[in-house]
A and B are shown apart, each in its own frame.
Chain A
Amino acid sequence: MVTTQSTDTRTKLIRIFTFLGGIYFFLYFVLPESAVTAIGMKAHHEQISNGFIVIGAMALGLGLYNIVRAHGARVVFQRSGWFNSLALLVGLLAMIGATSAQWIENLRNTKDILSVQVLGEFAMRIVEDAKNPPTDRVVPPFAERVSALVRYGEDRVSLIESHTNVSVAAGTNGASSVLVSEVRDRIAATRAKIGELKTISWAQPGDEALSRLTQFSQDAAKLASSYSIVKRSHDAHSTPQKVYDFLFDGLFNQLGSAMFALLGVYIAAAAYRAFRVRTIESGLMMIAAVIVMLGQISFGKEIYEHMPSIRQWLLEVPNSAAFRAIRLGAGVAGLMLAIRMWLSIESKSFSSGRK
């Protein structure tokens, strides 16, 4: 049995949290920028905003649970319409499966591409550290770092080469031959640079040696960029991607469009049956509707040359003024609702703390 006292405590708790939910954004928008910066809100605003989104995102399982519970029960107990529920669950699982497979494939490929990009970034970091030795972290000796770079470079270049060959041999490469030959040229250029790096003595690196390292970094970045396009182009033809595309383009997109397209014929039937001019006001409405319709179609100007201009005037002047009045009225009502919601005045039954 819930006591009155505990209900009151819960009510207070719900109201406090409702107020706390709004106070952050309210202060952020109301306080002057200098104050927002001084108290550290500005510096952490992105992370705090993300935190708010995370709270909402955690609710993603609610809908899934409800759907699976309602339709799962119908299938298990073979209630009326169970076959449709089965179709729903199959669609649900297929989409989750296809999106997951495509995502995992994507993550794997991204890892490959990033591992190539690291090459150029690492070379640049070695140069930066050589020019301004870091004080906040320990780095290995210069020669050792370059040696690691060379070894890693040789490994990555071989990987790119084999992936590009696989991609071309598979015959599913959507990238143009220009792009493939560009990758091959860049592989050769990067290999040559790696060869040069091997010949330099890194015990006492001079400006020229550092500049070669910088050039290597730029070449490696270009190679990574071309490779990422070839790789992505190849991945666009992978089976998980194709299944995802099929579900989205072949079913989801078509079904969604078709359902809304039904409205296209319904509005015609409604216009024939219900749009009757019985008063001056409905006459005005019809005249405005016909002008707007004729003004936006190809044949409008055949009927009257200035039809598009009249439509434009109608939308810009009387329509805009009337719509603005409606929108301002609705906006003020929305503002009042927002304040009442934030201060828990709106719904006593919600913040009552009862079950």
Chain B
Amino acid sequence: MGGRRLIYLLMILAVGLPIVFGISQKPSRLVSAERMYDVVEQVRVQPGEVAMIWLDFGPNTIAENEPQAQVLIEHLFRRRIPVILLSQYQQAERFLTKIPNEVAQRLEAEMPGQQWRYGEAWVNAGFRPGGAIFIQSMANAVDVSKFLGRDVNGMPISHYPAFSSIGGVERVKLVGEITGLIGVFDNIIQFFQKNDYRPTIVHGCTSITIPEAYIFLDSGQLKGLLEGIAGAAWYSEVLKKHFPSSENKELLVTNTALSAAHVVLILLIVLGNIVPFFERRRANHG
């Protein structure tokens, strides 16, 4: 009992110390995040074309999914690609408002005189129940903006000039799915397509679903992947390389704390194997 609590304390200390002292290290290079950066970078939009980002996470995976959403939205905002934000998961509702607002404020502070306004840079289409039924219906809609109808404030999305006449899903140039839920991710992979068209899909996954997400990367159903916090941290590094004013200190501290916790956990596994071995030996000799 006491040993277990000692492990708990050790883990909390391993995580807490880098945070208290603000220690940050360069994150590990993740090729999948680099590929995703290139995919987003290659997106070219004509007037009326948009990106669509699904934020399908709640408090249970906010630790990993929020930084991913932040870096992806930041990249799209920097490139002035209009973004539709929406969710299949009701617990994400608040993040649809909070995250783009925070990113916009950060960018406005970084570049005085420039603005990222709601209705121009992004719209929040809110929580959409129905899962697969809703998604297949949208994929077959004649006009996505008319199909979505109203934003979370009750305003018709077609009233915002940047989103007034999107047309069919072919005009959604990038689909981003940020989630740790396999079911909602499957809905996008399986139903956000037409018989003759499959959009470019990128995915921010929680670490637990990384091994599964790789099979979609291999088949080309996914074009880019952000792997947990580490993926967001490396994406942020790449973003900083191209946009030097991009700030990512906090994310790097988080990633360093995560790394420290990993090291302690690996040591615990090693100890967990060595200690019983010596105990057995001592018992045999005794």
Contacts and interface: CB of A to CB of B under 8 A. Distances in A.
Interface of A: 25, 33, 42, 45-46, 49-50, 52-53, 56-57, 106-107, 109-110, 113-114, 117, 178, 225, 228-229, 232, 245, 248-249, 252-257, 259-261, 264-265, 267-269, 271-277, 286, 289-290, 293-301, 307-308, 312, 315-316, 319-320, 323-324, 327
A265 B154 contact: no
Interface string B271-286: 1110010000000000
B266 A323 contact: no
B12 interface: yes
Given A265-B11, A312-B31, 5 more contacts: A25-B136, A49-B133, A245-B94, A315-B210, A315-B214
23 contacts: A49-B137, A50-B137, A225-B160, A249-B94, A254-B59, A257-B59, A260-B61, A264-B261, A267-B265, A271-B269, A272-B268, A275-B269, A276-B273, A294-B266, A296-B207, A297-B259, A298-B259, A299-B25, A300-B28, A308-B29, A315-B210, A320-B217, A323-B212
Contacts of B217: 316, 320
B137 A301 contact: no
B153 A109 contact: yes
A109 B273 CA distance: 63
Contacts, number: 177
Interface of B: 4, 7-8, 10-12, 15, 25-32, 58-63, 91, 94, 115, 117-119, 129-130, 133-134, 136-137, 140-141, 147, 153-155, 159-161, 195, 207, 210-212, 214-215, 217-218, 227-228, 230, 255-256, 258-259, 261-266, 268-269, 271-273, 276
Contacts of B258: 297
Main secondary structure of the interface of A (DSSP, over half): helix
B161 to A, nearest CB: 8
Contacts of A320: 211, 214-215, 217-218
A-B pairs, 9 with minimum CB distance: A256-B59, A297-B259, A49-B137, A53-B130, A110-B154, A298-B25, A272-B272, A298-B259, A272-B268
A248 B212 contact: no
B268 A271 contact: yes
A229 B120 CA distance: 11
Contacts of A252: 59, 91
B286 to A, nearest CB: 21
Contacts of B30: 296, 308, 312
A298 B140 contact: no
Contacts of A25: 133, 136
Contact of A53 (B28, B91, B133, B153): B133
Given A271-B268, A298-B27, A228 B155 contact: yes
Given A42-B140, A256-B60, A320-B218, A286 B269 contact: yes
A304 to B, nearest CB: 12
A333 to B, nearest CB: 15
B183 to A, nearest CB: 12
A141 B230 CA distance: 66
B268 A268 contact: yes
A167 B25 CA distance: 45
A176 to B, nearest CB: 8
Contacts of B58: 256
A46 B141 contact: yes
B192 to A, nearest CB: 14
B211 A323 contact: yes
A219 B104 CA distance: 26
A46 B28 CA distance: 45
Identify the interface centre among A56, A232, A272, A275: most chain B CB within 10 Å of its CB.
A272
A201 B7 CA distance: 85
B28 A257 contact: no
Contacts of A300: 28, 259
